[in-house]
A and B are shown apart, each in its own frame.
Chain A
Amino acid sequence: MYTAHARLVSVARRRRYYGGSPVSHSGGREPAVSLSLLDATMVGIGAMIGAGIFVLTGLAVEISGPAAIVVFALNGGVTTFTALSYAELAAAIPRNGGGYAYVREVFSAPVSFVMGWTRWFTYMIAGSLYALGFASNFVEFGHLYGFTLPGPPVLYALGAVVTLVALNALSTEASGRGETAITLVKIAILGVFVVFGLTATKVGEFDPLFTEGPLAVLPAMGLTFIAFQGYDLIATVTEEVENPRVNIPRAILLSVLTTVVVYLLVVFVAIGTLGADGLAGAGETAIAEAAEGFMPTFPLIGTGAALIAFGAVFSTISALNAVVIGSSRVAFAMGRERQLPASLGRFHHRYGTPLVAILVSAVVMLVAVVVVPIRIVGNLASLFSLLGFIIVNYALIRLRRRQPDLQRPFEVPYYPITPVLGIVCNALLGLFIDPFTWALAIGWLIFGGVVYFLLSRRGDIGPTESPEIQDPEPIPTAEQGDD
């Protein structure tokens, strides 16, 4: 998945060194790397399916009981509202910066700073969530083969972050189609889980559905919302997508739909086989433990549950990689726009990667891995996702009002109902997240405010709006200039 990163770099390099020469000669634009509809869809699915479903299913069931399936279904619906907004904005505004770039286009500097700051934090905190999920599933994977891995899981989480950061910081080498293959493997492993699980699923586990009361669905939705975050990564690679006007909106919507279907099947099987109580007890490794109950024994691999545990390890690590890239991209974009120190917005002269942006993001991830408990991490990541998505929906409404004549190749259906519903639902879910998480979130925002204030005082944040007026270059009249 570090291919996305390689693309970022390749685009920047192409721009820097090859200027517009292919354009001015042929008239057609031929990007060096191009993503088909399938590839673009897989970028989104790859970032979404992974950590969330493996790590958070157990925690969601613990909160809401068998109604966790309702939780995932409703979250899918809520996500779709915002995904539609992303689709419209991405098709109309050709920028590689994702949500931050759109908001920068529509709002004043402080608002876009808040957007960038929250998106950045979302990716970083999601990174620590995935790292923790990776660690517990890795230990579980060892257990299945009878190994007891030494040391606390958090060490493996730190190791995973450090390794992926090093890979992304030092190299941009990766194959173009690798991402699609990795994502297909993840879906295939979950497919195996669902196929074998369906035979063992007992529908009786869902009766009664709301064991913890219908209202328990809301906090569980808040917690698991992060599992639907990642399709926006498509919006950060838009310029490499073939026929972008058509394919970007399709890729965004397809990736969300596919993910929702996969999640519902997986959660249905997990609850139907292991039961709500069993899942709740298993925590971050719930899916792998559910698999132990019904998976047959395969040659070579041994127990079928090992395959699922492997899927969890593999998925969390690839999702972690995606957010390492995602977070450095946002920091990079903010550095380029002078909303963070300019050094974040530069490529390293030797490695060709946004090294500073990656390292700074890594530090926050590592701190979060060590300090914050997993449930809080999940909540925090979800809360910041929700806040960011509220701003994106509002940006869509504001852009429709301010720029009615903007070309919109894809339009959100039932405007303005859809984005308004997006805002209301996201806000509602945010309200059901616990006060401690809010306190942490507000703390991060205040910290952001201080950073913004200090940077603007030091003059690092450029008022890009007031360029120095250059003296006009005189153009000679015909008598003077032509010989």
Chain B
Amino acid sequence: MTDSEPHHLRVVVAGGGEMGLRTAELLSDRGHDVVVVEADPDRCAEISEQYVATVIEGDASRPETLRQAQPERSDVVAALTDDETTNFAVCMAAQRMSQVRTVMRVGHTPDELYTEFVDGLVFPERLGSRAAVNEIADGGVRTIEDIAGNVEVVEVEVAEDAPVAGKRLDEVRLPRGCLIIVDYQGDRIGGPDTVLEAGHRYVLAIESPVANEVMNLFRG
């Protein structure tokens, strides 16, 4: 993948549950080729009906089944069943078969050592909880991306009566650990002359210890 342009991927998705199928659909929509491995025959028929991926019926943690999905000619193997142990087994087997990238779904706070064995981890429950917070405590703040560590990228709307409303950025003292990334039009990187207009939305990176303080400044 030395090309800079979007690459045409072949992806094996182990587990055709809700998550596996949605992943396959999104990948297929972006023009990638997908193979789904699913053990349940009825579910296989349903996935096949969607016509987004080739479907192989069988248990992906059995090497004989996994081999039919041809990891050796794929770019990525994503183990997305709801069983963590199965996913780990699939990733290990796939790596043994070829030099393929592996992505593994975890169901609990991941074991720190996983990153030494697989190339990517997906923790749907954690992503789901972010989405839940967005829905529950909307109020002009939306998590955009949960990067890593304790930094969050959020989009915040400046409230009418907020302390910073109408101020230029060099007039405001934001706490250390907070950075305005993009101004409200989304066309300029935040700088000293950025004006924080009430009712406009800004993209911020915030360290969690100061999140509360920043929310106070922007939301009042």
Contact = CB atoms under 8 A, between A and B. Distances in A.
Contact of A29 (B1, B25, B54): B25
A403 B100 CA distance: 19
Q: How large is the interface on A (under 10, 10 to 19, 20 to 34, 35 or more residues)?
A: 35 or more
Contact of A92 (B54, B73, B99, B106): B54
A342 B4 CA distance: 12
Interface stretch (B110-118, B155-163, B171-179, B197-205): B110-118
Contact of A407 (B57, B98, B110): B57
Interface string A454-483: 000000001011111111111111101101
Interface in B1-60: 1-3, 5, 7-8, 10, 22, 25-26, 28-31, 33, 44-45, 47-58
Contacts of B68: 402-406
Interface in A1-27: 12, 14-16, 18-20, 23-24
Interface in B93-117: 98-101, 106, 109-110, 112, 115
6 contacts: A337-B8, A462-B3, A464-B8, A466-B99, A467-B76, A473-B120
B137 interface: no
Interface of B: 1-3, 5, 7-8, 10, 22, 25-26, 28-31, 33, 44-45, 47-58, 65, 68-70, 72-73, 75-76, 98-101, 106, 109-110, 112, 115, 118-121, 123, 126, 146, 148-150, 208, 211
Given A23-B25, A403-B56, A480 B150 contact: yes
A249 B105 CA distance: 36
Among the interface residues A20, A93, A94, A468, which one has the most CB atoms of the partner chain B within 10 A?
Answer: A94
Contacts of A473: 120-121, 148
Contacts, number: 132
B65 A405 contact: yes
A29 B56 contact: no
A336 interface: yes
Contact of B29 (A20, A405, A470, A481): A20
Nearest to A408: B48
Contact of A468 (B2, B58, B73, B106): B2
Given A24-B26, A464-B75, A481 B50 contact: no
Nearest to A337: B8
A119 interface: no
B57 A405 contact: yes
A239 interface: yes
B148 A469 contact: no
A113 to B, nearest CB: 14
Contact of B8 (A29, A239, A336, A407): A336
A375 interface: no
A24 B50 contact: no
A464 B100 CA distance: 11
A483 B211 contact: yes
Main SS class of interface, A? loop
Contacts of A480: 149-150
Contacts of A92: 54
A465 B146 contact: no
A475 B148 contact: yes
A93 B56 CA distance: 11
B70 to A, nearest CB: 8
A476 B57 contact: no
B109 A406 contact: no
Contacts of A238: 51
A467 B76 CA distance: 9
Given A23-B22, A405-B57, A245 B48 contact: yes
A244 interface: yes
A405 B56 contact: yes
A244 B49 CA distance: 8
A342 B8 CA distance: 12
Given A23-B26, A94-B53, A483 B120 contact: no
Contact of B10 (A336, A338, A464): A464
Closest 7 A/B residue pairs (Cβ): A20-B26, A407-B55, A483-B208, A472-B115, A403-B68, A20-B29, A244-B51
